[in-house]
Amino acid sequence: MWTRVIALIIKEFLAILRDRKARITLIGPPIVQLIIFGYAATFDLKEVPYAVYDEDSSLASREFLARFEGANAFRKVAVLQKEDEIRQLIDTQQVLLVLHIPPRFQSRLTREGNAPVQVIIDGRNSNTAMLALNYVNEIAANFTLNMARQKGLSGPAAQLVVRAWYNPNLESQWFIVPGIVGLLTMVVTLMVTALSIAREREAGTFDQLLVTPMNPFELLVGKTVPGLVIGLFEGSIIVLLTVFWFGVPLRGSVPALYIGLLFFSLSIIGVGLMISSIAATQQQGLLGAFLFMVPAVTLSGFATPIANMPEIVQKFTLFNPFRYFLVVVRKVFLEGAGMELLLTEYLCMAAIGVVTLFTAALMFRRRMY
């Protein structure tokens, strides 16, 4: 029996890797995507363009505005003289925000103790708007604290000291790039397996397979192993690039990561083989892979957190293997987790893998007899 399976595995590898173009497609595009996405997929604010409309021009207002000029997150592009210039600048996206200091800022600050400052923000990208507003808030609160300490307090005052665990500078890259390990492993494994049976069917070789003494289980093993080897290989390359090119720290145990990668690849292979045994042509296989992949990526927490989704959609994500692998990869990379913290994720991925592989085998069987 095992000689038959090994022969099939060798044949599968040859079928996938025979063609030079196919070999390049397996390695080239994923790495290019990793590099481009690794740099493009960022939520970090950098040099937010802003304008200043200072109607007070006092010592206090200048002191307040100086705090923005010193900040890396901001870049001053204009100083306004009239209020109606604001609309034009924001509408055309030349600035993201305008700081408007009304007249009598200084006198209100010292006499009444409460001086308003208006911040007008372009909310077209609400995430960027919120992050920028947070920076402004921080600068304003520190300004208040400083003034209060200098001029005497009337009540208690405290500083807010924020530290971040696992990712001290809060770099998006540390969050996104380990996720890409899973994303690209999934894409490659799915492509290899989703097309494997459809390709045989199109070429007519599936009938030849059927007349061999192979049973569905042997066929399953023969089709699974190449996908697994290619998935693990691809995953390893991307892990290496994540660590050595992007400099994301790999703090946890490597075996814990690989156990996760193994279970994840198996569950994706199961899905791929299921798609493949339904599809009559490669084109249908491709379509099926796409139909699985889009929700799998969107509803995984890859770019946006699962906690932000509606309740029902959150329940739905429990069937998504990518969801679990993202937890594994992020916990191992950043939180330094070992296997004991990841048992639930392993178990869920293994369960999805068993169900999908078993179903795929049943579907071969139906096709065979």
Partner 1 sequence: MSPALRRICALVRKEFLQVIRDPSSIAIAIVQPLFLLFIFGYGISLDATHVPVACVVDATGPNAREFIGGLYQSQYFSPRIYGSMAEAEQAMIKGDAMATIWIRSDFERQAMTGNGKIEVIVNGVDANTARLVQGYLIGHWGQWLLKQGATMGLELKPRIWFNAEVRSRNYLLPGIIAVIMTLTGTLLTAMVVAREWERGTMEALLSTPVTISEVIVGKVIPYFLLGMAGMGLSVLTARWLFQVPLVGSHWLLLAVSCLYMLAALAMGLFISSFSKNQFIAGQLAIITTYLPAFMLSGFIFDIHSMPTVIQWLTHIIPARYFVTILQTLFLAGDVHGLVIKNAVYMAGLAAFFLLLVARNSRKRLD
In the set 57, 107, 118, 212, which binds partner 1 (CB under 8 A)?
118
Nearest residue to 323 (alpha-carbon basis) of 304, 340, 338: 304
SS3 call for 247: coil
Alpha-carbon distance of 176 to 31, in angstroms, equals 15
Alpha-carbon distance of 323 to 319, in angstroms, equals 8
Q: Does residue 347 touch partner 1 according to CB under 8 A?
A: no
Q: Which residues from 222-241 bind partner 1, rule CB under 8 A? A: none
In the set 68, 74, 174, 264, which binds partner 1 (CB under 8 A)?
174
In the set 77, 229, 237, 286, which binds partner 1 (CB under 8 A)?
286
CB atoms inside a 10 Å sphere around CB 181: 27
List, edge to edge, every strand of the sheet that includes 74-79: 74-79, 48-54, 97-101
Select 212 or 283, whichever has its Cβ closest to partner 1.
283
Select 156 or 213, whichever has its Cβ closest to partner 1.
156
Alpha-carbon distance of 81 to 86, in angstroms, equals 10
Q: Does residue 140 touch partner 1 according to CB under 8 A?
A: yes
What letter represents residue 324's amino acid? Y
What is each CA distance from 289 to 188, 293, 335, 362, in whole angstroms? 11, 6, 32, 19
Q: Does residue 152 touch partner 1 according to CB under 8 A?
A: yes
Select 219 or 246, whichever has its Cβ closest to partner 1.
246
In the set 19, 66, 79, 110, which binds partner 1 (CB under 8 A)?
110
Q: Does residue 328 touch partner 1 according to CB under 8 A?
A: no
Q: Does residue 245 touch partner 1 according to CB under 8 A?
A: no
Burial 320-332 (b: 16+ CB within 10 A, else e): bbbbbbbbbbbbb
Nearest approach, Cβ of 5 to partner 1 (angstroms)? 29
In the set 62, 149, 315, 366, which binds partner 1 (CB under 8 A)?
149
Listed ranges 116-124, 214-222, 226-234, 242-250: which one lies at the site for partner 1 (CB under 8 A): 116-124
Q: Does residue 168 touch partner 1 according to CB under 8 A?
A: yes
Residues ≥6 apart with Cβ < 8 Å to 80: 51, 52, 53, 86, 89, 98
Q: Does residue 334 touch partner 1 according to CB under 8 A?
A: yes
Q: Which residues from 19-78 bind partner 1, rule CB under 8 A? A: 29, 33, 36-37, 39-49, 64
Residues ≥6 apart with Cβ < 8 Å to 3: none
In the set 5, 31, 78, 148, which binds partner 1 (CB under 8 A)?
148
SS3 call for 75: strand
Nearest approach, Cβ of 195 to partner 1 (angstroms)? 9
In the set 57, 107, 127, 212, which binds partner 1 (CB under 8 A)?
127
Nearest approach, Cβ of 214 to partner 1 (angstroms)? 27
Q: Which residues from 78-97 bind partner 1, rule CB under 8 A? A: 90-93, 96
Instruction: Give the interface size with partner 1 as a residue count (CB under 8 A).
Output: 100
Nearest residue to 356 (alpha-carbon basis) of 221, 266, 262, 232: 266
Nearest residue to 71 (alpha-carbon basis) of 149, 163, 143: 143
Listed ranges 226-234, 246-254, 256-264, 285-293: which one lies at the site for partner 1 (CB under 8 A): 285-293
